[in-house]
Homo-oligomer: A and B are copies of this chain.
Amino acid sequence: MTGAPGSPGNGAGALLRSLLASGVDTCFANPGTSEMHFVAALDGVPQIRAVLALFEGVATGAADGYARMAERPAATLLHLGPGLGNGFANLHNARRAGTPVVNVVGDHATTHAKYDAPLQSDIPAIAGAVSGWVRESTSPADVAADAAAAVAAAREGQVATLVLPADVSWDPIDEPDADAVLLAPAAAPHPPPHPAALRAAAAAFTSGEPCVLLVGGDATRAAGLAAAHRLAAATGARVLAETFPTRLERGAGVAPVDRLAYHVDLAVAQLAGTRHLVLAGARSPVSFFAYPGKASDLVPEGCDVHAVAPREGSITTGIATAALEELADLVAPGTVARTAPLARPPLPTGPLTVDSAAAVVGALLPEGAIVVDESVTSGLGLPATTAGAPRHDWLTLTGGSIGYGLPAATGAAVACPDRPVWCLQADGSAMYTISALWTHAREGLDITTVVYHNDAYAILRLELEQTGAAARLAGDGARARALLDLGGPQLDFVALATGMGVPAERVDTAEGLAAALRRAAAEPGPHLVEAMVPPLLP
């Protein structure tokens, strides 16, 4: 039996009010029948903004991008196991990012489960593969507390999944007290850095032996980088950032940092000769993929590893920055961190290439921009050309699950409506979650998307070589190479964008890209620029 019309007292209402009380006021949603009572409750809790996505991977990627910028979780609303499955890939990226996300997954009514109706599947199994916390609400009286617990779990820097059966959502709450708004318990204060670990790291820094400080998690924000630079300046250690940071603050006024390379040979070269590797919010470096005859573990032979703060939980606790600041006060008390000067490249002209496109971005990136980077091989020039741009944030593909860019840009723009979002997006990756453009338009988000259109899964051409597979091709390898080719037929991203309400234009010169980016900046709302670039390998 359902609650009386207008009565707030059902599970869905309790869920929304509990989420709001715990600071969750944004929900990226793709609902279905089992979520109708959640949807109906939205008008009773108007402080919660519901953003519709046309595909669940957009909702989950948006929640990831949102949390990276808002520093608090958004909720998603997903429809049973298949909806969670559709959202899995970007939840995987959020898991690897350590961002807090609260999934609400609607399920069949508890009374319906035994009939194994067509949409039924093992939701906890799917959720468990990507969530640090999973719970199913079994009674409307429990929902408020379950939601508060989900938010608390997410705040530890993980994906928390709450399964909400339809009847638990629609049933009235019998005891009036149970409808009381619950607050998520505050996160436990993070444990201080372990003195012995700090002492060991301090000894490594001051040993006079080659030392690398690898920063990740929260330590790729400005404060952590400043502390890292003080240590480096005082001791001669080198600082590197993890390959795919959750949120890298950079540009003029921020202590600059190079990232550990994705390419295994380059990463090995960066770390060669290191005698001490200090980890602050970063995991011990491993190659992204295994390659025949190459090491997976990137720590050089004979190098000692000293972890002063874990990756896990660092995004939400700031533990790595705290450790670095304590270390810097210990080892480099009077040292001041160097910061990057404002230094943009000149605007290039001529045919668009990966290099000239990167220079255009570096020349025009606006103050306070949020860059969502899924440019893959087309973005290789970007770190250098944007290092001296005005201060900005750089969000990366933390879990390697492509299709993250357009959704994460959605969430970042919702979190920071006053900041311009630049989504630098490879063409192949864009197609996994292309419908995010519709949400850009629907919400009027200030997102400028550059699609690097090279008609290929260009990175797989490199990987075909790297894995030794290219050497095993029979004949001319045409059938294999066709699977890495996106040119037949050629995608038209201007048509795709305008078909979803986003103004778009195609450019093939550097001056064309610059003009298009300026036009986009001059107008409110989303824009897309299709940048025709040659692939790295033909």
Residues of B contacting A475 in the complex (Cβ-Cβ under 8 angstroms): 43
Residues of B contacting A1 in the complex (Cβ-Cβ under 8 angstroms): 292-293
Given A39-B464, A119-B401, output 9 extra A-B contacts at Cβ < 8 Å.
A10-B472, A44-B474, A81-B88, A85-B126, A86-B403, A111-B296, A112-B290, A115-B296, A491-B499
Q: Which of A27-35, A203-211, A382-390 contacts B (4 or more CB under 8 A)?
A: A27-35
- Give the interface of A toward B (CB within 8 A): 1-3, 5-7, 10, 29, 31-34, 36-37, 39-44, 46, 50, 52, 54-55, 57, 81-83, 85-86, 88-89, 92, 96, 108-109, 111-112, 115-119, 121-122, 125-126, 128-130, 166-167, 170, 244, 283, 286-290, 292-293, 296-297, 398-401, 403, 428, 431-432, 434-435, 438, 441-442, 459-460, 463-464, 466-480, 482-484, 486, 488-496, 498-501
| Contact between A117 and B296, CB atoms less than 8 A apart | yes
Residues of B contacting A435 in the complex (Cβ-Cβ under 8 angstroms): 431-432, 434
A-B contact pairs, 30 of them (CB 8 A): A2-B472, A5-B471, A31-B483, A33-B459, A33-B460, A36-B467, A37-B467, A39-B484, A40-B477, A41-B474, A42-B480, A55-B403, A55-B431, A86-B88, A86-B89, A109-B296, A112-B286, A112-B287, A112-B289, A115-B296, A116-B283, A117-B288, A117-B289, A125-B125, A125-B129, A166-B289, A167-B292, A441-B489, A491-B501, A496-B499
Contact of A109 among B128, B290, B441 (CB under 8 A): B290
Nearest to A46 among chain B residues (CB) is B479
Residues of B contacting A125 in the complex (Cβ-Cβ under 8 angstroms): 125-126, 128-129
| Contact between A499 and B495, CB atoms less than 8 A apart | yes
Q: How far is the CB of A66 from chain B (nearest CB, A)?
A: 18
| Contact between A40 and B469, CB atoms less than 8 A apart | yes
Residues of B contacting A496 in the complex (Cβ-Cβ under 8 angstroms): 495-496, 499-500
Q: How far is the CB of A256 from chain B (nearest CB, A)?
A: 24
Bound together, the chains give a CA A402 to CA B349 distance in angstroms of 46
Contact of A82 among B88, B122, B442, B493 (CB under 8 A): B88
| Contact between A6 and B472, CB atoms less than 8 A apart | yes
Bound together, the chains give a CA A96 to CA B438 distance in angstroms of 31
Which 7 A-B residue pairs are closest in the complex by CB-CB distance? A85-B88, A489-B501, A495-B499, A109-B290, A82-B401, A112-B290, A40-B469
Bound together, the chains give a CA A400 to CA B119 distance in angstroms of 6
| Contact between B399 and A167, CB atoms less than 8 A apart | no
| Contact between A399 and B119, CB atoms less than 8 A apart | yes
Contact A478-B129, Cβ < 8 Å, known A296-B115, A483-B52, A499-B495: no
| Contact between A43 and B477, CB atoms less than 8 A apart | yes
Nearest to A29 among chain B residues (CB) is B483
Nearest to A165 among chain B residues (CB) is B290
| Contact between A50 and B501, CB atoms less than 8 A apart | no
| Contact between A39 and B483, CB atoms less than 8 A apart | yes
Q: How far is the CB of A361 from chain B (nearest CB, A)?
A: 24
Residues of B contacting A403 in the complex (Cβ-Cβ under 8 angstroms): 55, 86
| Contact between B288 and A460, CB atoms less than 8 A apart | no
| Contact between A43 and B473, CB atoms less than 8 A apart | yes
Residues of B contacting A289 in the complex (Cβ-Cβ under 8 angstroms): 33-34, 108-109, 112, 117, 119, 166
Bound together, the chains give a CA A432 to CA B289 distance in angstroms of 29
Contact A89-B82, Cβ < 8 Å, known A42-B480, A434-B435, A472-B5: yes
Contact A121-B108, Cβ < 8 Å, known A115-B296, A166-B289, A501-B489: no
Bound together, the chains give a CA A179 to CA B356 distance in angstroms of 50
The interface centre, meaning the residue of A116, A287, A398, A442 with most chain B CB atoms within 10 A of its CB, is A442
Residues of B contacting A82 in the complex (Cβ-Cβ under 8 angstroms): 88-89, 92, 399-401
Contact of A492 among B33, B41, B111, B499 (CB under 8 A): B499
Residues of B contacting A111 in the complex (Cβ-Cβ under 8 angstroms): 290, 296
Q: How far is the CB of A458 from chain B (nearest CB, A)?
A: 13
Bound together, the chains give a CA A121 to CA B130 distance in angstroms of 8
Nearest to A401 among chain B residues (CB) is B82
Bound together, the chains give a CA A517 to CA B499 distance in angstroms of 22
